[in-house]
């Protein structure tokens, strides 16, 4: 048999084997936040806790019985997901961590530049079992502005990575990379943007609703006015070649896809809230001014939103109309029933939503402007709420666990357990059913 045909067959077999073995930020390729776990149900109990040497802004992922987490000091940890015992750890030169992505037996991790002027970050593929390098792509930038909340994306054996820039560049690059070999399949330069002062990339989403799958992402300028980006666009390109399909103004970031709708957070002066758009054309379906719209998770009926200075809120997914927020009256919260949400997304499973919080107790005298970091206070921990089934206007909080540190990360759910990382405390938590 021709060696080329053999190579293609091997690649297809490997790709098919790995197709369902993917662990990434916020559950899936569409960032919906929905984990297909039917076991986890609050109230929960602490199963184990691992103390790291650093602090965490990013959440963990779990695959093959291993938990992977990256701290803000450039270390990556591999921990037994059942026992909390350390398997291996490695240190990289990085200013901020990025949530890794796991595929098959490999782990992909972006180490950012060392400071605003040095953007020589690297993208690494390592073995999950021991952390040893498989391949390295050098000289790909990374921003410290987004605090490492975004991660690469993998689809059909290709890794998609959006390289951001420092304060002196007005372009960025979207890469399509062979996930097995590290070879670049194609790259697309984004920009230039006049007076950008650097470009911040957004999440990378995959849409498979057309005959040719395509990639959706967004970018915004570091140039700001009143805490808001002065420029930004969402765009779609074909997954196989990077050919531009459409682009539309959003000013900030895209967060998730559900059905045929794309949901984005916008800081445009006219909206400052949420934009819902067609995934096929980018045309706006509605734009709504929503106070808490910094982070979005989606179900068939609702969008769950978070923001600095607010609790979880939920809106009608199809209309954008705000419905309500959390009701903490059912549990003895020691901070007056008010939470500053922090910056993690909501994760959902088995009819419940989960999130962490803890940027301090709210008061008009201590609250900082958007982008500020209020002092840590009593309002620190995790909680779970029921996802509405009928026409409720309040989210019923059914479980709460107080922690020693604020939480900026997005939790991960797997095998009947939920995993969190904490910021100043630098710990990894595992909870399970009582």
| Domain ranges for the chain | 30-57+297-434
Q: What is the pLDDT of residue 12?
A: 38
What average pLDDT does range 292-312 have in this prediction?
84
Q: Kindly report, residue by residue over 357-403, the tens digit of the pLDDT.
A: 775 444 444 444 444 444 444 567 888 999 999 889 999 989 989 88
pLDDT surpasses 60 at 17: no
Lowest-pLDDT range of 23-27, 149-153, 226-230, 280-284: 226-230
How is the chain split among helix, strand and coil, in percent rounded to 5?
A: 5, 45, 55
Least Cα distance to 430 among 422, 417, 69 occurs for 417
Q: Round to whole Å and give the CA distance between 251 and 254.
A: 10
Lookup: tokens for 23: 């662990």
CATH of domain 30-57+297-434: 2.40.128.630
Q: Kindly report, residue by residue over 257-294, the tens digit of the pLDDT.
A: 999 999 998 888 788 889 999 999 999 999 998 877 87
Q: What is the pLDDT of residue 323?
A: 93
The C-alpha torsion from 256 through 396 and 388 to 279, rounded to 10°, is: -10
pLDDT surpasses 70 at 196: no
Q: What is the pLDDT of residue 3?
A: 46
Going by pLDDT thresholds of 50, 70 and 90, the confidence category of residue 418 is very high
Q: Kindly report, residue by residue over 237-260, the tens digit of the pLDDT.
A: 999 999 999 999 888 888 899 999
pTM, 2 dp:
0.88
When comparing pLDDT for 369 and 86, which is higher? 86
What average pLDDT does range 75-90 have in this prediction?
96
Q: Which of 39-53, 189-203, 351-365 has the highest mean pLDDT?
A: 39-53
Based on the number of CB atoms within 10 Å of its own CB, is 138 exposed (0-12), middle (13-18) or buried (19 or more)? exposed
């Amino acid at each position: 048999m021709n060696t080329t045909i053999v190579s293609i067959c091997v690649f297809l077999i490997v790709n098919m084997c790995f197709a369902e073995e993917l662990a990434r930020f916020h559950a899936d390729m569409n960032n919906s936040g929905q984990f297909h776990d039917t076991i986890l149900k609050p109230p929960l109990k602490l199963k184990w806790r691992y103390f790291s040497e650093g602090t965490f802004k990013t959440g963990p992922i779990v695959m093959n019985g291993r938990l992977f987490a990256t701290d803000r000091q450039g270390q990556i940890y591999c921990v037994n997901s059942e026992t909390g015992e350390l398997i291996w750890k490695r240190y990289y030169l990085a200013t901020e961590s990025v949530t890794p992505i796991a595929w098959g037996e490999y782990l992909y991790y972006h180490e950012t530049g060392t400071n605003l002027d040095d953007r020589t970050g690297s993208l690494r593929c390592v073995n999950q079992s021991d952390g040893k390098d498989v391949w390295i792509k050098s000289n790909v930038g990374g921003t410290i502005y987004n605090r490492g909340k975004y991660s690469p994306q993998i689809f059909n054996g290709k890794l998609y990575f959006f390289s951001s820039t420092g304060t002196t560049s007005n372009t960025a690059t979207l890469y399509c990379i062979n996930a097995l070999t590290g070879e670049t399949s194609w790259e697309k330069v984004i920009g230039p943007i006049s007076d950008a002062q650097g470009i911040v990339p957004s999440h990378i989403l995959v849409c498979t609703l057309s005959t040719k799958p395509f990639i959706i992402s967004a970018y915004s300028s570091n140039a700001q006015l009143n805490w808001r980006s002065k420029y930004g666009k969402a765009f779609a390109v074909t997954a196989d070649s990077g050919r531009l399909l459409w682009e539309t103004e959003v000013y900030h970031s895209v967060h998730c896809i559900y059905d045929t709708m794309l949901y984005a957070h916008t800081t445009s002066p006219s909206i400052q809230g949420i934009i819902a758009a067609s995934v096929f054309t980018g045309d706006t379906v509605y734009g709504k001014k929503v106070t808490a719209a910094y982070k979005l998770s989606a179900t068939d009926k609702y969008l769950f939103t978070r923001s600095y200075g607010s609790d979880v809120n939920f809106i009608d997914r199809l209309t954008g109309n705000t419905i309500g927020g959390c009701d903490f009256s059912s549990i003895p919260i020691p901070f007056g029933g008010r939470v500053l949400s922090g910056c993690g997304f909501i994760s959902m499973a088995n009819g419940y939503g989960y999130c962490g919080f803890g940027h301090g107790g709210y008061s008009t005298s201590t609250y900082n402007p958007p982008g500020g970091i209020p002092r840590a206070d009593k309002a620190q921990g995790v909680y779970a709420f029921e996802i509405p089934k009928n026409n409720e206007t309040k989210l019923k909080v059914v479980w709460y666990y107080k922690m020693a540190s604020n939480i900026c990360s997005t939790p991960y759910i797997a095998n009947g357990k939920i995993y969190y990382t904490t910021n100043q405390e630098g710990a990894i938590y595992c909870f399970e059913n009582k």
